[in-house]
Every structure is written in structure tokens, then in C-alpha cells.
Amino acid sequence: MNNARVAVGFESLGVAEAAWRAARAYAAQRHSMGKTIDQHEMIADMLAGMQTDIQAIRALGIQAAWHEELNQKLRLALAHLDVPAEERQRMERDQAFHARRSRHLTPLLKWYSSERAVDIARQSVQIHGGAGYIKETGVEKLLRDAMVFPIYEGTSQIQALMVMKDNLMAAVRDPQRFLRATAQARWKSLSARDPLERQVAGLRLVAQQSVRFLLTRLAASKLADLRHHKAGDWSKLMRAWDPKRDFALAMLHAEHLTSVLTDAAVAEILWEQTRADTGRTQILVRWLERARPRSRYMHDLITTTGPRLLASLASGASHQGTP
């Protein structure tokens, strides 16, 4: 699946880039109210957002592809090459690292790139106005092409469920590591010398806090359940999870969590690029400008919404109308 996710990531990138280029060229020559429309604030903001997200998809895509490539190459080498024991151990460690990173990044890439390709293609139609809606300019075809990306090779919701499950389970399996990463993110977000590094760490902190919130709620609802059972059954009940009921809040917020994790992952990749080449700094600045309020909003959704809808689903109200 990692291969397929990377492939859809780059398909999405191609369509998004074509849609942005068409919109930029059209906006530079279409006049309205005394100037070309790319000089109108709202259109300029749309074009800038499209460009920033395309750069983010490309950065995320290259990282995901690189880890997946090395994961596969090392696995092949380990299976077919005769290498000394020490070298083999090093290769096994490297392969496990690249497999882990690929597993982490590829569903984020598939989810983010495909969702944004649809948004970007739709914005391109919008910037073209009526000309975008008819067939002659070709941008409506880009929108139709983009619409399949969040559906095939695992829908966006399936990517998000996997991201949620992987991240929650990683924290449950190794709580020390999770707490250490949270403490590090908090410390860096307050005390890193570079203000951009502080903002990047701030995004990671929001992601860690979102995961922690969902885990705490899962544990709390499980503990609350125990009140209705005999103490002798508690240990059995704590081990028996019903994914449908116990994970309901996390499943509800899986896409919100995926958004927060993508914002943090892209910021970290762009920060590393900025450290290697200061020419990339403006890309990171533009990403942070949009990702920080988005992440706070998603975190707010995760921490303040859900119980009403879940209660309504549990009571079967959805069968009678909107929950």
C-alpha cells in the first residue's frame, strides 16, 4: 500500500500543479475593476495558498518516496546479498527505520495531497469564473480527475483511520517515548533560539496533545464503564476493547488528527530543508502562517466536539434523521 499511496501523492501533485498554473496564467490576464484579477486580495490569497500547499505536497512526497525506496532496496539487499554479520545488523536497523518512517508518512501524503488536489482544482475553476465551468478551458477536467484521488487506493477516511490507530497504538506501546517527545516539543516550542524552530515545535506539541487527549478520553470512558461491572470482571474488561464503541471518539476525529499530524510533519521537513538551504525559508514561513491556525482549529474540534453526535449514534437516532 505504501507504493500506491506515494503514487497517488504524485498524481495529486501533478493535477494540483496544473490547476495552479492555469489559474495563475488566467488571473494574470483577466481584468476586473481596473486591474488584473491576480491583484485582487482574495484571488492573490487563493493563489498563494495553492502554491504553498503544492510545495508542501512535493516536500512530503519526496520524503515519503525516499523512505519507501530505501525500505524496499534494503529489504531486497538483505534477502539476496551475502553481507558480514555486523553490516547485516546495520542494514536491518536502517531498513526498520525507513519502513517506520514510510508507514508514518505515506498515509499523511495520500490523505493530504488528494484532499488538497480537489480543493486546488476547485479553486482553479473558481478563479476562471464561468470560463472554468465550461469544457473549453480544461480546468473542470482537472477537478473531475482530482475527485478520484481521495477515493481510490484507500479512501481518505481509511487513511485517517490508519493514521489514528498507528499514532494511538504507538503511544500506548511506548508511553515513555511518547511523553519524552511531548516534553521535547514543549521545551523547544518555548526555548529554541530560532523563532521558526519554536513554531515548528509548537505544531508538534499540538499534535502530541491531540493524541494524548484522545487516549485520555478512551481510558476515561473505559474506566467509567467499569462502574457497571463487578470488580472481579475489571481486569478482563480492561483487556477486551470493543473498537466500535471504545474508539468512537478517536474514529470521529481521525481526519482532524491526520490534519494536525500532517501540519507538524510538513513543518519539520521544511525546517530541515531550511537549515540546509536558507533559500527555502520563505516556504516554511508561508506554511507556518497557514498551518498554525489550522492546527489550533483542528485541536479545538478534537477537544470540544463529538459527545453529542456519538450519543446520538449510540441511541440509533441517526436512522431517523441527522444525528
Ligand X SMILES: Cc1cc2nc3c(=O)[nH]c(=O)nc-3n(C[C@H](O)[C@H](O)[C@H](O)COP(=O)(O)OP(=O)(O)OC[C@H]3O[C@@H](n4cnc5c(N)ncnc54)[C@H](O)[C@@H]3O)c2cc1C
Q: Does 318 bind ligand X (CB under 6 A)?
A: no
The whole-angstrom separation of Cα 215 and Cα 164 is 11
Report the residue number, 4 or 190, with the smaller CB distance to ligand X. Answer: 4
The whole-angstrom separation of Cα 15 and Cα 125 is 13
Q: Does 4 bind ligand X (CB under 6 A)?
A: no
Q: Which distant-in-sequence residues (6+ apart) come within 8 Å of 284 by Cβ? A: 196, 200, 267, 270, 271, 273, 274
Q: Where are the alpha helices (DSSP H) in the chain?
A: 2-29, 41-80, 85-128, 130-133, 139-146, 156-173, 175-191, 195-226, 234-239, 243-246, 248-252, 254-276, 281-304, 307-314
Q: Does 70 bind ligand X (CB under 6 A)?
A: no
Report the residue number, 161 or 211, with the smaller CB distance to ligand X. Answer: 161
- Three cell numbers, residue 183: 516534553
> Which of 152, 187, 241, 297 lies at the binding interface for ligand X (CB under 6 A)?
152
Report the residue number, 126 or 157, with the smaller CB distance to ligand X. Answer: 157
Sole window of 67-75, 151-159, 162-170, 312-320 interacting with ligand X (rule: CB under 6 A): 151-159
Count Cβ neighbours within 10 Å for each residue of 138-163 and write b for 16 or more, e otherwise: ebbebbebbeebbeebbebeebbbbb
The whole-angstrom separation of Cα 201 and Cα 182 is 10
Q: Does 313 bind ligand X (CB under 6 A)?
A: no
> Which of 62, 70, 131, 148 lies at the binding interface for ligand X (CB under 6 A)?
148
Report the residue number, 20 or 247, with the smaller CB distance to ligand X. Answer: 247
Q: Does 141 bind ligand X (CB under 6 A)?
A: no
Q: Does 209 bind ligand X (CB under 6 A)?
A: no
CB of 165 to ligand X, least distance (A): 11
Grid cell 505536497 is found at 57
> Which of 157, 209, 281, 305 lies at the binding interface for ligand X (CB under 6 A)?
157
> Which of 91, 158, 192, 309 lies at the binding interface for ligand X (CB under 6 A)?
158
Sole window of 37-45, 152-160, 275-283, 302-310 interacting with ligand X (rule: CB under 6 A): 152-160
Q: Does 187 bind ligand X (CB under 6 A)?
A: no
DSSP state of 194: S
How big is the site for ligand X, counted in residues (CB under 6 A)? Answer: 7
Q: CB–CB of 170/227 below 8 Å?
A: no
The whole-angstrom separation of Cα 101 and Cα 199 is 22
Sole window of 18-26, 89-97, 148-156, 303-311 interacting with ligand X (rule: CB under 6 A): 148-156
Nearest to 20 by CA among 113, 112, 127, 137: 127
CB of 158 to ligand X, least distance (A): 6
Report the residue number, 39 or 157, with the smaller CB distance to ligand X. Answer: 157
Q: Does 151 bind ligand X (CB under 6 A)?
A: yes
Sole window of 33-41, 145-153, 173-181, 193-201 interacting with ligand X (rule: CB under 6 A): 145-153
Report the residue number, 144 or 180, with the smaller CB distance to ligand X. Answer: 144
Q: Does 155 bind ligand X (CB under 6 A)?
A: yes
Q: CB–CB of 60/9 below 8 Å?
A: yes
The whole-angstrom separation of Cα 217 and Cα 188 is 27
> Which amino acid belongs to residue 71?
N
Interface with ligand X in residues 267-306 (CB under 6 A): none
Interface with ligand X in residues 159-178 (CB under 6 A): 161
Q: Note the residues at the interface with ligand X (CB under 6 A).
A: 148, 151-152, 155, 157-158, 161
